[in-house]
Structures are given as C-alpha cells and as structure tokens.
Amino acid sequence: MSARVTVQVKMPDGSAAAGSELAATNLYATDPRNREWKGSTGSDGRFTWARMDTGVLQSDMYRIKATYIDAEGVRWTGEVTDRIRRDVVVNICVNPSYLGKLSIPDVVLSNIEKLPEGRTLIEGIRELEEALRGGMAQSVVVLCHWALEGLVILKARTKDLWKDDWDTKSLGYFLDQPEVQQIVPDELRRKARTVAAVRHPGAHFMGKKTSPEEAQIAASIVRDVATALYARV
C-alpha cells in the first residue's frame, strides 16, 4: 500500500521555509529500502512523496524531520511523528535549534583581549557562545553570570578601583559598591542583577527550570555590558 504525502514547512511567522531538507523515517520498516525517504522543499515550502509505503507489512508510523538553514547560517529544525495511512498533508513549523548569537562587536573583543587577564575573559566568552549554539539554557545563564563578573572585575582593576576583599563577594554585592557604580551605568547594573537572580544558588534543587527566554536575555545583557565598558579603552 502507498500514500501521497505532502510536507509543508513553515517558519514561526507563517512564511514558507524554502529549501528545507526533509528526512522521513519509517520507524518499523522490515525492508531497509523502504525505511529512509529524502526530499527538499521548493520555493513554496512544500515537497511531495507521490507513493510513500504504508500498511501492515511495512508499518505506517513515520518520523518526518525538516532542517532549514537561513541566510545568516542559523539552523532551524522541526519534526512530526505520526501514522501515514492515506493521502495527507503534513505541516511542520521549524524553530532555531540553538539560542542565538552573542554578537559582541569585534572591536570590543579586541579591546578586552589587549588588557591583562583579557584573554582569560575572552575564553569564557567563547565558551558562552558555544553554549548558545548548543541550546544549553542553564549553562548559558551560568556562563553569563561568570562573564559579567569578569567584565566588571577587569574594568574595575584597570581603573584601580577594585578592592582585594571583594574577591570572595558575589556579583550582586560588588554591583552595589560606589566604585563600581562609577563605571557601570545604573540601567546595566539593574539588568546584571537579573542574571544573578536567575542563577540563584539552589534554585534548581527547588524545581526551577531555566527557560530559553531567560538565557537569551542574559546573553543580551552580557553583550550590552561588554559594549558599554569596552567599546573604548
């Protein structure tokens, strides 16, 4: 038995995801020749398999995955698992497979790297970028917290404002110090505190989960603080 299966791939805004690569897998196929089905959507975001195997002998349970790469190289994915028993249109909405980009300007990164201990901070920022690409929300928030600490500490030391007894203090503590208030604008200090709040110690033992939105906001705060403090040195 066979069915005509059309896949429609769309972006979250409803526009067609043209050029999406499709991979359909018959989950219980006994014949390897009928297990994997490939395709690519046209300009309308659609692709049709005219005679996809179904029925008792070859199984009718399929997983269909769509992968779309946009003009900026961002990878979007989506999938549907369902029984295919008759002619059907399968709709798939794709979403980013990672949380986004940090997008700190190159001149800012260069200025940081020139400073004492700047290379160590850059390594932490690169690790944060990897976590963003991997979609690891909790890791992103933790690394954002560390990055904010590093950005503020490095700037305070460069300005000879840092106090040795602050080394064991928290991000929230030294954001409130008059010396740090001289170099970090009020609005950015307020935003940085939100990252410290999301990463509250023990939060996950109390059942708290880090959402992708929280991770994206934390990363944008790191970008804004880095740009404000190191656009010029």
> What global pTM score does this model have?
0.59
State the burial class of residue 106 (Cβ atoms within 10 Å of its Cβ: 0-12, 13-18, 19+): exposed
Q: What is the pLDDT of residue 202?
A: 56
Q: Where do the structural domains in the chain lie, given as residue ranges?
A: 2-96, 106-230
The predicted structure's pLDDT at residue 82: 87
pLDDT at 212: 75
Asked if the domains 2-96 and 106-230 are classified in one and the same CATH topology, the answer is: no
Q: Angle, nearest 10°, between helix axes 118-134 and 106-114?
A: 140
Question: At what angle are helices 186-198 and 212-230 packed, to 10 degrees?
Answer: 150
Report the pLDDT value the prediction gives residue 30, as an integer from 0 to 100.
Answer: 76
Query: Which pLDDT value is given to residue 68?
Result: 92
Q: Distance between terminal CA atoms of the chain? A: 70
Q: How large is the greatest C-alpha to C-alpha distance in the chain, in angstroms? A: 77
Mean pLDDT in consecutive groups of 10 residues from the start of the chain, 233 residues: 91 92 88 85 96 72 90 81 90 79 91 93 93 81 92 93 88 89 91 76 58 82 94 82
Spatial separation of the C-alpha atoms in residues 148 and 154, rounded to whole Å: 10
Could you please state the CATH topology (level 3) that the domain comprising 2-96 is classified under. Answer: Immunoglobulin-like (2.60.40)
Q: Which helix (H) or strand (E) holds 72?
A: none
Report the pLDDT value the prediction gives residue 209, as an integer from 0 to 100. 67
- Is CATH 1.20.1250 what the domain over 106-230 is classified as, yes or no? no
Q: Taking a C-beta distance cutoff of 8 angstroms, is the pair 2, 53 a contact?
A: yes
φ, ψ (nearest 5 deg) of residue 183: -110, -20
State residue 77's pLDDT score: 84
